C-alpha cells in the first residue's frame, strides 16, 4: 500500500473502521432475516423443514456465486457504490418478505438478500485496505469480525420480539428499516469511505501488477486461502447448526442448555476476535497464529467429542473453542491481504477478496451435506470429530499459504 492510499490519522481510521463495521454488522443481521421467522413462515405457508431450509440454500448459493463475481465489480466501479447497492438490496428483500403471499416470494426475498450479501467482503476489505493505516489494520479486521458477530446476535432478538408483539410481516418491514438506516448513515458520511482509486478503473489491464484480470487464479496462495475458508467455515456451520442437539445426545443437556452452549461459543468467538486483533497488529507470522489457535480448537473439539467431560464443563469448553477460533479471524484476514498484495497489488483487492471469501458461503452450504447424514445416523460424537478434523485441516492450510506467497 503506497502512502497516497493510507489514512494516517487515528480519528479518520476510527470513522472508516466504524462505518465498515456497521455495514458488515448489517450483512450478518440479514444472514438471519429468515431463520428466526421460520416458525411463523412455516405456519403461514404450510412449509416443511426441507422447504424452509431451502430458502437458506438459495441465500448462500446466490451469495457465494455473487461474491466471487462482485469483487470484479468492486475493482471496476469502486467499493462505496457497490456497498450501497448491497444494503439497498437488503432493504428490498425485507419489503418483499413483508409482502410475501407465496413460497415463490419467500424465495425471491431470500435471493435478494443473498445478492445483497455477496458484495460485503470484497467491498469492506477493499475500503479497509485502502483507507486504514497499515498499523491499525489488525484492529480494523478485528472490529470487522466482531461487528459481524453482533449482527448475528441482534437479528434473532430483534425479529422475534417484533414478530411476537405484532406479526412476522411487521418484523420483515422493520428489518428493511434497519438496512435503510445503515444506508442513510453511510451516504451521509460518504466522504470518509470515498473511493480513492477511481483512476484505477480506467487503467488498462496490462498495467496491473498481476497482469490479466484473472491472473490471481494462477496463485497457489489465493487457492489455499479459498480452501482455508471452505474447511474452517464448514466446521463453524456444523457447530452452529447441530451443536445443541449433539450436546443433548452426548451429555444429556437440555436443548435450552445446548443453545446456551452455542451462545457461549459465539461469545467466546467475539472475545477471541478482539484479542486476535491485538495479536495480529503486533505479530507478522499470521499463519502461525492461525495454525496454533485452530490446532487448540481442534484438540478441544476432540475432548468434547469423547463424551467424558463433566456436563457442567461443556459450556466452558464450547466458549474456549469459540475463543480459539475467534483469535484466528484478524490474522486470517491479514493473511489474505498478503496473498492479494504480494503479486497483484491494490487494484486487485476486490477480486481476490471476493473469490477467497466466497469459500465462506461454500463452507456454510456444504456443512449440512457433510454432517446432516451423520446426525441422521445418530453419530453425534463423530460430528465433533469431523469439526476437529476440519479445524486441523484449516491450520495446515494456513501454514501452506506461507510457502506460496512470493514476497513475505
Domain ranges of the chain: 11-137+146-202, 216-403
Per-residue pLDDT, 404:
63
Separation CA 170–CA 3 (nearest Å)? 48
Q: How confident is the model at residue 403 (pLDDT cuts 50, 70, 90)?
A: low
Selection from 260, 233, 237, 21 nearest residue 146 by Cα? 21
The enclosing H or E element of 9 equals none
Show the CA angle centred on residue 328, arms to residues 70 and 128, nearest 5°: 40
pLDDT confidence of residue 376: 83
Region 220-242 average pLDDT: 87
6 pLDDT more than 60: no
* Residue 163 and residue 39 in contact, taking contact as beta carbons nearer than 8 Å: no
What's the Cα-to-Cα distance from 379 to each of 245, 249, 250, 252, rounded to whole Å? 11, 10, 10, 15
Confidence tier at 216 by pLDDT (50, 70, 90): confident
Least confident of 70-79, 304-313, 321-330: 70-79
Residue 22 — pLDDT band, cuts 50, 70, 90? very high
Per-residue confidence band for 198, with pLDDT thresholds at 50, 70 and 90: very low
140 pLDDT band, cuts 50/70/90, is confident
48-62, 69-83, 104-118 — which one is most confidently predicted on average? 104-118
For residue 307, CA distances in Å to 100, 184, 249, 300 come to: 45, 50, 10, 12
Yes or no: say if 31 and 151 are a contact pair by the CB < 8 Å rule: yes
pTM: 0.76
- Counting other chains too, the contacts that 4-8 makes at CB distance below 8 Å and 24 or more residues apart are 4/196, 5/130, 5/131, 5/196, 5/197, 5/346, 6/131, 6/132, 6/133, 6/134, 7/131, 7/132, 7/133, 8/133
What CATH fold (topology level) applies to the domain 11-137+146-202?
A: Growth Hormone; Chain: A; (1.20.1250)
C-alpha cell belonging to residue 269: 468467538
Which of these ranges, 156-160, 262-266, 338-342, 389-393, has the smallest mean pLDDT?
A: 338-342
The region of weakest confidence among 72-86, 364-378, 385-399 is: 364-378
Higher-scoring residue by pLDDT: 301, 344 = 301
5 pLDDT above the threshold of 60: no
Band the pLDDT of 185: cuts 50, 70, 90. very high
Bigger pLDDT: 49 vs 381: 381
DSSP per-residue string spanning 276-321: HHHHHHH-S-HHHHHHHHHHHHHHHHHHHHHT-S-GGGHHHHHHHH
CA distance 385 to 232: 14
**Which of 28, 30, 34 is CA-nearest to residue 51?**
34
- Quick one: pLDDT at residue 209? 46
C-alpha 229/C-alpha 397 separation (Å) is 10
Domain covering 216-403 in this structure, CATH number: 1.20.1250.20
- Which DSSP state fits 378? T
Q: With cut-offs at 50, 70 and 90, classify the pLDDT of residue 342.
A: low
The pLDDT of 340-352, averaged and rounded, is: 69
Q: What burial class does residue 203 get, using C-beta atoms within 10 Å of its C-beta: 0-12 exposed, 13-18 middle, 19+ buried?
A: exposed
The most confident of the ranges 49-58, 154-163, 251-260, 280-289 is: 154-163
Q: Kindly indicate the confidence band of residue 7, based on its pLDDT and cuts at 50, 70 and 90.
A: very low
On the question of pLDDT at 240 being above 70, the answer is yes
Residue 277, C-beta contacts closer than 8 angstroms, at least 6 positions apart: 138, 139, 141, 142, 143, 330
Give me the mean pLDDT over the 58-84 stretch: 88
Equal CATH topology for 11-137+146-202 and 216-403: yes
Question: Residue 196: its pLDDT value, please?
Answer: 64
- Give 341's pLDDT tier (boundaries 50, 70, 90): low
Mean of pLDDT over the chain: 85
pLDDT score, position 305: 94
What is the reported pLDDT for 93?
98
pLDDT tops 90 at residue 84: yes
| Band of residue 407 on the pLDDT scale cut at 50, 70, 90 | very low
Provide the percentage of residues in the chain whose pLDDT is more than 70: 89
Look at the chain and count its residues: 408
The CA distance from 195 to 314, in Å, is 47
82-86, 131-135, 212-216, 386-390: which has the minimum mean pLDDT? 212-216
Amino acid at each position: 500500500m503506497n502512502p497516497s492510499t493510507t489514512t494516517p490519522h487515528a480519528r479518520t481510521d476510527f470513522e472508516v473502521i466504524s462505518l465498515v463495521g456497521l455495514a458488515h454488522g448489517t450483512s450478518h443481521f440479514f444472514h438471519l432475516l429468515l431463520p428466526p421467522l421460520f416458525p411463523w413462515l412455516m405456519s403461514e405457508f404450510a412449509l416443511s423443514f426441507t422447504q424452509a431450509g431451502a430458502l437458506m440454500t438459495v441465500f448462500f448459493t446466490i451469495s457465494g456465486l455473487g461474491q466471487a463475481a462482485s469483487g470484479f465489480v468492486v475493482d471496476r466501479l469502486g467499493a462505496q457504490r457497490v456497498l450501497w447497492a448491497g444494503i439497498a438490496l437488503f432493504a428490498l428483500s425485507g419489503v418483499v418478505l413483508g409482502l410475501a403471499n407465496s413460497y415463490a416470494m419467500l424465495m425471491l426475498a431470500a435471493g435478494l438478500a443473498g445478492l445483497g450479501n455477496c458484495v460485503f467482503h470484497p467491498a469492506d476489505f477493499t475500503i479497509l485496505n485502502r483507507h486504514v493505516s497499515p498499523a491499525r489494520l489488525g484492529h480494523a479486521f478485528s472490529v470487522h469480525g466482531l461487528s459481524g458477530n453482533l449482527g448475528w446476535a441482534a437479528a434473532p432478538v430483534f425479529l422475534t420480539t417484533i414478530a411476537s408483539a405484532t406479526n412476522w410481516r411487521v418484523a420483515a418491514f422493520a428489518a428493511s428499516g434497519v438496512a435503510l438506516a445503515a444506508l442513510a448513515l453511510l451516504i451521509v458520511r460518504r466522504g470518509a469511505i470515498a473511493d480513492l482509486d477511481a483512476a484505477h478503473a480506467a487503467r488498462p489491464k496490462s498495467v496491473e501488477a498481476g497482469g490479466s484480470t484473472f491472473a490471481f487464479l494462477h496463485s497457489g496462495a489465493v487457492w489455499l486461502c479459498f480452501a482455508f475458508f471452505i474447511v474452517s467455515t464448514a466446521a463453524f456451520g456444523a457447530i452452529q447448526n447441530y451443536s445443541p442437539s449433539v450436546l443433548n445426545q452426548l451429555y444429556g443437556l437440555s436443548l435450552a442448555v445446548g443453545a446456551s452452549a452455542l451462545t457461549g461459543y459465539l461469545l467466546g468467538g467475539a472475545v477471541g476476535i478482539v484479542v486476535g486483533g491485538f495479536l495480529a497488529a503486533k505479530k507478522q507470522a499470521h499463519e502461525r497464529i492461525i495454525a496454533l489457535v485452530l490446532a487448540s480448537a481442534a484438540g478441544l473439539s476432540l475432548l468434547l467429542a469423547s463424551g467424558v467431560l463433566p456436563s457442567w464443563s461443556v459450556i466452558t469448553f464450547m466458549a474456549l473453542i469459540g475463543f480459539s477460533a475467534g483469535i484466528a479471524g484478524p490474522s486470517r484476514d491479514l493473511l489474505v491481504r498478503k496473498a492479494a498484495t504480494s503479486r497483484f497489488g491494490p487494484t486487485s483487492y476486490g477480486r481476490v477478496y471476493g473469490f477467497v471469501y466466497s469459500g465462506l458461503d461454500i463452507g456454510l452450504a456444504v456443512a449440512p451435506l457433510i454432517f446432516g447424514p451423520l446426525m441422521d445416523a445418530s453419530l453425534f460424537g463423530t460430528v465433533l470429530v469431523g469439526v476437529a478434523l476440519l479445524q486441523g485441516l484449516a491450520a495446515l492450510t494456513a501454514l501452506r499459504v506461507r510457502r506460496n506467497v512470493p514476497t513475505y
